[in-house]
Structure 1
């Protein structure tokens, strides 16, 4: 495995070594450095050196080490971490001692990526976004800092637009002959399900990208199944309601079932993926679809049921509720990425569950307004 190696801030090679050492430790290896060999090529023009890491299931024997060292000397590679030592004294000491303390002391997030947080190149700690750790090299600025801060600024901009837009709408409601109190519950309800839906949808697609082996499969299967099953769920909701409203207890029951499903998926999707990761791509796609269909069907109920209840009132501002839901969905898409990058995909899924909890609390108020 090869990654760029910056001597001042060797972020990529550091995390690669930590990942390899952690994987070896979980396999029962007591001395991971005996299984690791990292050498760095000389810089080439404006480009830094390239660090190449070799990982062995068994400790490197003397003959293999001699051949590797001879080759590195001929190529003028620097020996950074080897079973015999190397130039990276701090990390060698951490590998031989307490690797966890080294990770905690680092200015970057060097914790090993997992299936729940598989973002190798996202190394900024959540608390250092606005105070980056002294980046000066263009590769550090454009590779580590700008992508993450851009996402945070985008999310902040979306939040500000949503807040300002809501305040303007609330200020204008009396001029339209509408009650702020009566419209408030509807706005909160549709904002909550809009944010919740996007947090769950994007979280599912990100998790399936790892399980299915490629983001294209994750988006293709996750997005298609959720959109189709959500549409079917909304259609069935309309059929069951007939020409009247859906009872409050059925709406709240559907939301409660949805919250339980989200929590179950957030807590059990990783073990399920590990259980079936050895199956063929086609089988894994079908398994993902079977898992998502019940979730999508129930996710189709809140919007359709909410619109049907709100529509029973002649003065209900349905276009406003549509707009609130759409704006919340846009904000939720950036928020989902932010939660996944900072705390893991399960945080995005559970955040969606929180959104639906807020909607569950708003259902009685929505019914009163209708």
Structure 2
């Protein structure tokens, strides 16, 4: 049993480093570029299988010294790769400039060059263990998965105490231990020497840094800027800054001076992974600016409203609501660090004083009870936490409508600084929410008020009558805001205070007419009537199955997007990264797939067997990850955090799949075991299709530990079943030719590379349910391709 412990440690180190590198990209760059890490890792695994196919006999002859040598080589390659990644001058903003893009493409290639060797060697170590222990592939695969799951947990735990910039060096000692267990005294000495030299080089040469385009870069570098508090967690690195640039980020009227209203107050700035998520009070929250703020629009239509505030804006939002006439404010702040700051303060920022008119609820926004006159979403709520996007779905808004008093309304903020089409998509979502709530004429229940940079969509339970529209128009005119849409308000012929020209990918220039324009007003009436414009942008409603406001660019419009990449906001670039990674992955998968045809003489495998293998192992590589990614998204909502959801789903599925793989090595009838495993996996997926959303909503207000336990218990059966097909297939197909074993590992890795970007595109384009459907189809295809001449 001990001979496979090094494999366990190697797998743990590989997955741990992979997760650590994705955190590095999130802090130093943008999280979208974490896809590269997954792509590089799976590419390394796939290429290692190809190399093992071609040199199987050579590797077997030298296996005795290769088994300890590979983790030592991984140790050195991991340190060198980390140094190379941190010294890379990649700047994603320059990708959007044709003049500077070529240099950034070279930097992307350098990332691959730096990180590929580590994952290639990891894949080589795993595939060598499969070849050496070819008579017990279930046990080998089980140790591989269990080690990977343990590595994911270790990386998650380390994030509570270590900055992401030191996670990779902290995980490298696992490889030294693996080498020391595999080899004799000389290898133990070599492992310690290489570990010491690698760590010395890493801490002496590596220079991880936050890129200058990140929001935190400028305020960190102004005179006398100070970090006054820091919080480390898997959710991110939180820094609280104190400098003269930090103010409450709210949209106030240009007429504030005429109105006799002061500017927004000074504050501390709270940043997570370099992005500003909130202002925290520098003293007690001030709200004298509130009457001139765009966010005050719904308060002009309601008398002493009872308010449900989603997001506290660091404590400023309840104070603003009271200043605007609210009789009572119930605050829900789901972001844990912001919630802690609201209740207990953070560093020098004190919590707001206790006020009997303000209550802080522990409920989840999607399950809040009670009835309200106003559901008021804070302006920074969407950007404060990734999971807050679930509040912007049609189903969530319909739920809020049901909690409103007869004259109540919902106030939904959306930024229009970079792309007006985001606001139009929120309007489409509002229309769908009203339709779900049984409203026959949604257009009569919506009003839109905006400034130059932000917009509020007001969704009312009752139709907007003329009196309310006039009150809203007066509020807008007095503050030089624009009423882009209200029932009975003409779209044309109005004075426009804040120019908002339309943006189209089909055109190479912004439309200029010589007069101020309102791009939202142009489309609002069409979208609320259910006939949105048909162009490069997706204006379909945001739903629980597709809970993403971005990206907006439709896949058929990728060519136009590339031609006008300089105008696209950063959240749209993630789509292009996915497409690029997918294209690369497909090329790799094709190369790996045709390899046996080129080397068929050395494989000595009949053509029909190759054909079946070409279905079986790619289907498993695709199917496992498609199902896993679907569950990660649901787990992120359940646990309130994508990092925790990712780590727990990954760990659970790897560990129980590892147990299933070990069990698979002991079954007497592999064909029957495969059919049962696929039947269980498909059955669990069908249950998830119909029941996962209600189950998640029912559990949202339970303690975190109980939600995590329920997730593990729910995933255990399908994970156990998914552990069977791969080792059963390896064992069965290698009877047709031993060289198929490393090729199968390569196929699985290559199509796993395809699965990650494919799942992201499929989920964003069609919905999470389709990931489960596609995963089921893959496993059914694998079952049908099982060789028929043996059980």
In the superposition, the TM-score normalised over structure 1's length comes to 0.83
Gaps of 5+ in 2: 1-411, 492-520
Aligned counterpart, 1:45: none
2:497 aligned with 1:70, yes or no? Answer: no
2:532 match: secondary structure: helix
Deviations 1:241-299 (A, max 9, x none): 3xxx5432222222233223223323432343344445454443333222211110101
Question: Could you tell me whether the CA contact under 8 Å between 2:652 and 2:719 is conserved in 1?
Answer: yes
Which shifted more, 207-216 or 161-170?
Answer: 207-216
Structure 1 residue 225 displacement after superposition: 1.7
> 512, 525, 529: which one pairs with 1:92?
525
1:165 match: secondary structure: helix
2:427 aligned with 1:51, yes or no? Answer: no
2:509 aligned with 1:80, yes or no? Answer: no
Which shifted more, 73-82 or 296-305?
Answer: 73-82
2:450 aligned with 1:40, yes or no? Answer: yes
**Structure 2: how far apart are the matches of 1:287 and 1:188?**
34
Deviations 1:107-129 (A, max 9, x none): 42211111211121122334333
> 110, 119, 125: which one pairs with 2:539?
110
Structure (1 or 2) with the larger CA radius of gyration? 2
Distance of aligned partners of 1:186 and 1:195 in 2 relative to their CA distance in 1, 3 Å threshold: same
Which shifted more, 104-113 or 192-201?
Answer: 104-113
Aligned counterpart, 1:326: 749
**Structure 1: how far apart are the matches of 2:742 and 2:768?**
32
Distance of aligned partners of 1:177 and 1:34 in 2 relative to their CA distance in 1, 3 Å threshold: closer
> 140, 144, 159: which one pairs with 2:586?
159
Question: Could you tell me whether the CA contact under 8 Å between 2:424 and 2:527 is conserved in 1?
Answer: no
Aligned counterpart, 1:182: 609
Deviations 1:327-353 (A, max 9, x none): 221221221112112111111111111
2:684 aligned with 1:261, yes or no? Answer: yes
2:778 aligned with 1:349, yes or no? Answer: no
Aligned counterpart, 2:177: none
Question: Could you tell me whether the CA contact under 8 Å between 1:85 and 1:92 is conserved in 2?
Answer: no
Question: Could you tell me whether the CA contact under 8 Å between 1:212 and 1:218 is conserved in 2?
Answer: yes
2:438 aligned with 1:28, yes or no? Answer: yes
Structure 1 residue 106 displacement after superposition: 5.3
Aligned counterpart, 1:305: 728
2:413 aligned with 1:2, yes or no? Answer: yes
Question: Could you tell me whether the CA contact under 8 Å between 1:246 and 1:309 is conserved in 2?
Answer: no
Alignment length (residue pairs): 351
In the superposition, the TM-score normalised over structure 2's length comes to 0.41
Aligned counterpart, 2:657: 230
**Structure 1: how far apart are the matches of 2:659 and 2:595?**
35
Structure of greater relative contact order (alpha carbons < 8 Å, 6+ residues apart): 1
Which shifted more, 293-302 or 221-230?
Answer: 221-230
Higher helix share: 1
**Structure 1: how far apart are the matches of 2:653 and 2:539?**
34
Question: Could you tell me whether the CA contact under 8 Å between 2:612 and 2:787 is conserved in 1?
Answer: no
Deviations 1:144-164 (A, max 9, x none): 653323312221221111112
Higher strand share: 2
**Structure 1: how far apart are the matches of 2:602 and 2:569?**
48
Counting only pairs closer than 5 Å after superposition, residues 210-229 of structure 1 correspond to structure 2 as 210-229=637-656
Aligned counterpart, 2:429: 19
**Structure 2: how far apart are the matches of 1:343 and 1:2?**
25
**Structure 2: how far apart are the matches of 1:334 and 1:247?**
32
Question: Could you tell me whether the CA contact under 8 Å between 1:117 and 1:340 is conserved in 2?
Answer: yes
1:38 match: secondary structure: strand
Gaps of 5+ in 1: 43-48
Distance of aligned partners of 1:23 and 1:145 in 2 relative to their CA distance in 1, 3 Å threshold: same
